[in-house]
Amino acid sequence: MTVIVRDLRPDVRSDADGFTRVRQLALPYMLFTPESLVHDLTHAHPATHLRLLVAEDAGEIIGTAQVGLAHESPEPGQGFANVYVHPERTGRGAGALLARTAESHLSAAGATTSYAWVLDAPSNRTFAERRGYTESRSAHFLRLDLAHGTLPALRTPPPGVELRTAADFADDPRPLFALDAETTLDEPSDIDIEFADYEAWLDETWRHPLFSQELTSVVLVDGRPAAFSAARTDGATLPHSRLRSSGGTPIGTVMTGTARAFRGRGLAKLAKNDSLHRARAAGFTHAFTGNDSGNGPMLAINKWFGYEVCATEVRYVRELG
């Protein structure tokens, strides 16, 4: 049969299920659900030009791609194209067809550069390099055993410091938007990101179906949000997910940061420890997170918690002609 590439249809459940299944098999360290993918697509900022592509063979979705522009970047033309193929369906040309379709879309949307994440394996590296991509940086996925590991003990916050959850800001999350925007500026990346659109942040972060207000911890200093640890959960994940292969329930920490004026006081540890203790008490059995391989301070914090590296992704880049 001939492999075809087309857009995911957000109103067709089997499309979202198939996309999610491929992503969970190829990338079992991140949280995806059919609902989260449809939300990403239908709530994306128009300037993102986001497309979710699927490669289909004889009616089966065997590959996926997320492709679009980094609309939060102050530098125009920064595109991304992340391609993943079902591990048991490689060698059918799905990856190459997805990549060509993605790059064509980026060029038409005005992108001058394409960034792509690939898992650190010889075949994946070869695939990217044959398409003219060069290595830019790398990042690690980390896993923490909440069920059998030992978290650092909770400590009483010092005077003037208070622990809250994101749910306490449900009536007005703008202070958390400001904190997220400031800390994101210093996050290691090859694309500068500036959160300036509050309404877009509400759609893409605050109202995201995976975001857990209850398990996201916020540190206040003299009443001002100073640090946070943002959590996502996949309560609706498909039963065959490899994340749940041992019967466990995963939680993902997607961002931990401290405002510049409050760094060096251990507030990021305080926030993340509180979030992880909440997660364990709620029945979550393991936690995932990710760190740039050059982000020594955050890697040290995660080692202190007991996280272990479980996989590595490599960031590739090429100029679009």
Rounded to whole angstroms, the Cα distance separating 61 from 18 reads 6
Residue ranges, the chain, pLDDT below 70:
1, 235-248
Strand 308-319: give its sheet, edge to edge: 4-7, 51-57, 60-69, 78-85, 113-119, 308-319, 134-145, 286-292, 250-258, 224-233, 211-221, 161-165
Contact present, 197 and 45 (Cβ < 8 Å): yes
The residues near 9 (Cβ < 8 Å, ≥ 6 apart) are 15
Q: Which CATH number fits domain 143-312: 2.40.10.10, 3.30.930.10, 3.40.630.30, 2.30.130.10?
A: 3.40.630.30
Domain boundaries, the chain: 4-140, 143-312
pLDDT in tens, 139-151: 999 999 999 999 9
Q: What is the pLDDT of residue 235?
A: 61
Give the integer Cα–Cα distance in Å for 88 and 272.
37
pLDDT in tens, 219-274: 999 999 999 999 999 864 333 333 443 446 899 999 999 999 999 999 999 999 99
Q: Please state, in angstroms and rounded to a whole number, the distance separating the CA atoms of residues 172 and 37.
A: 26
Q: Which residues pair with 286 in a beta bridge?
A: 145, 250
| The pLDDT of residue 241 | 39
* Class level of CATH domain 4-140: alpha beta
* Element holding 224 (H helix, E strand): strand 224-233
What pLDDT is attached to residue 187?
Answer: 85
pLDDT value at residue 1 = 60
Give the global pTM: 0.91
The reply to whether domains 4-140 and 143-312 share a CATH topology is yes
Residue 275 structure tokens:
């979030």
Residue 193: predicted pLDDT: 85
